[in-house]
Structure 1
């Protein structure tokens, strides 16, 4: 097999990996953003979808949950979960960009 053919496969594989990483980062950001929206709109916490989104968002934002101590609960939710969403999307796309240049 030629070197050119091997490097083409490698580029294709890293491109696919970059795409997967970017999509995963976006999904994580969407879940966190969706929970922020559900919280702000006072979604029914007894609803299965709301509970699922909250559980996943809380797990994703475990490191940033209640990081800030604002007096208002909505500000803590927006800042804590919003920071996690921002970091995941930023880091995920940065890694994907590096892979694409590889």
Structure 2
């Protein structure tokens, strides 16, 4: 393998890791905003909520805890952990090859 190909794989792996980090950051930020009762009519809060809802669409109502905060932390938190794990696993795999 040439060094140029390895360099491209390293860069692609870094991009994947950064994207996974940003996705997890958005989800974590929404969890924090929810727990701190952020103003839902604020445009930034709405943007973060919409982005987090889209990112966690598959895990949003996965859990049925009685407390709403527990459902938010578990559903959005699971999505954040999965994105981090999968994104960094792919990035590490690309880095090794």
Shared fold by TM > 0.5?
yes
Uncovered stretches (5+) of structure 2, i.e. residues with no partner: none
Question: Normalized against structure 1, the TM-score is what?
Answer: 0.94
Deviation per residue, 1:53-75 (Å, 9 max, x gap): 00000000000001000000000
Question: Normalized against structure 2, the TM-score is what?
Answer: 0.99
Uncovered stretches (5+) of structure 1, i.e. residues with no partner: 1-5
Q: In structure 2, what is the equivalent of residue 12 of structure 1? A: 7
RMSD: 0.7
Separation in structure 2 between the aligned mates of residue 66 and residue 99 of structure 1, nearest angstrom: 33
Aligned length: 97
SS at match of 2:61: coil
Structure with greater Cα Rg: 1
